């Protein structure tokens, strides 16, 4: 069975550009299902339906992900002639709602900036590094994995852009604010030499887990509940506050590196007040007047 899973994952990597974390998640889901029902290539519709009992305690979003993995796996098996039928058609299509992202207020972000700038002002390399990381998380909306793995070569000297390799190996250009450029320049001056990574560690680059810890610790020092803050929450804040400032949804999609604009649309809920005010102020019927 592992051969079939390996072949499926190889296809996902080669043809769809699935990222390593995505491939690992597919493997866990497929091997977990096989642990429950036995050889997936020999499993029937009833076997797959029995998985509902195994999944009873899981969140709907988790169940939806596992079902998606099985549907794609069996579709691959049929296409490759490994099976003549697709037992995954017996699985339900759960209707899940994407959770609304946590949102930090402008004041909370400002408090964190005040704290990290104060610390960086003392000249310690780790504090200057954190300032550069924080500026890029909130100022450019990078994913944690994109940020920690940045190469020095991704930061051009003569243009306010970063070259980012995102999910599926897709590259995009991300603008960098003057503040972030200044913070990066300060970090480069004190950064250890000898690594291709902008934020190096002894074994390569700093990890996502370490970035997560640093952001939580900064929030606590700024008297903000650490449970509210993470690198991904700062990415959400970047998107939310841009929309509040009038950014176009398609532009935001490009900046965030979303393949599907439906993913970007999750942010529109936070901007409802501004949209209502826009209609009330700018619509031809505003103020009781009709357009010509």
Query: Two tokens at 274?
Result: 């501004």
Contact 184, 191 (CB under 8 A): no
Q: Which alpha helices (H) appear in the chain, and where do they start and end?
A: 2-16, 20-37, 45-49, 51-54, 60-79, 106-120, 125-140, 144-148, 178-190, 208-221, 231-244, 249-256, 261-264, 272-282
Q: What backbone torsions phi and psi does residue 173 show, to the nearest 5 degrees?
A: -100, 130
Residue of 66, 235, 236, 241 with catalytic role: 235
Q: Alpha-carbon distance 178 to 126, whole Å? A: 21
The answer to whether residue 235 is catalytic is yes
Count of other CB atoms within 10 angstroms of residue 180: 22
Decide: helix, strand or coil at residue 80.
coil
Exposure letters 224-236 (e unless 16+ CB within 10 A, then b): beeeebbbbbbbb
Q: What is the DSSP string of 140-188?
A: H---HHHHHT-BGGGS-SSSSEEEEE-GGG-EEEEE--HHHHHHHHHHH
Which of the following is catalytic: 26, 74, 138, 267? 267
Q: Are 188 and 144 in contact (CB under 8 A)?
A: no
Which one from 129, 143, 191, 216 is the annotated catalytic residue?
Answer: 143
User: Please, are residues 171 and 165 in contact by the beta-carbon 8 Å criterion?
Assistant: yes
> β-pairing, 200-201 with 204-205?
antiparallel
Residue 138: active-site member:
no
From the list 167, 179, 186, 228, the catalytic residue is 167
Which residues carry out catalysis? 143, 167, 232, 235, 258, 267
């Amino acid at each position: 069975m592992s051969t079939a899973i390996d072949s499926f994952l190889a296809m996902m990597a080669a043809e769809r550009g699935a990222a390593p974390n995505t491939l690992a998640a597919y493997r866990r889901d497929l091997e977990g299902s096989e642990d429950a029902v036995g050889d997936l290539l020999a499993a029937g519709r009833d076997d797959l339906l029995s998985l509902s009992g195994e999944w009873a305690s899981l969140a709907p979003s988790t169940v939806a992900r596992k079902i998606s993995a099985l549907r794609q796996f069996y579709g691959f098996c049929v296409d490759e002639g490994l099976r003549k039928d697709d037992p995954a058609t017996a699985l339900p299509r759960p209707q899940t709602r994407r959770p609304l992202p946590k949102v930090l207020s402008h004041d909370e972000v400002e408090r964190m900036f005040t704290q990290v700038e104060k610390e960086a002002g003392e000249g310690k390399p780790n504090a200057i590094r954190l300032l550069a990381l924080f500026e890029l998380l909130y100022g450019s909306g990078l994913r944690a994995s994109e940020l920690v793995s940045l190469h020095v070569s991704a930061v051009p000297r003569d243009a306010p852009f970063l070259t980012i390799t995102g999910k599926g190996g897709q590259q995009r250009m991300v603008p960098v604010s003057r503040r972030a450029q200044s913070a990066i320049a300060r970090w480069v001056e004190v950064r250890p030499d000898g690594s291709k990574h902008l934020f190096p560690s002894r074994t390569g680059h700093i990890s996502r887990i370490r970035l997560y810890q640093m952001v939580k610790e900064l929030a606590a020092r700024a008297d903000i509940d650490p449970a509210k803050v993470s690198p991904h929450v700062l990415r959400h804040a970047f998107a939310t506050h841009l929309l509040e400032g009038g950014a176009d949804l398609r532009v935001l999609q490009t900046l965030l590196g979303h393949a599907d604009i439906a993913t970007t649309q999750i942010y529109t809920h936070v901007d409802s007040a501004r949209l209502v005010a826009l209609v009330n102020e700018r619509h031809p019927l505003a103020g009781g007047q009709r357009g010509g």
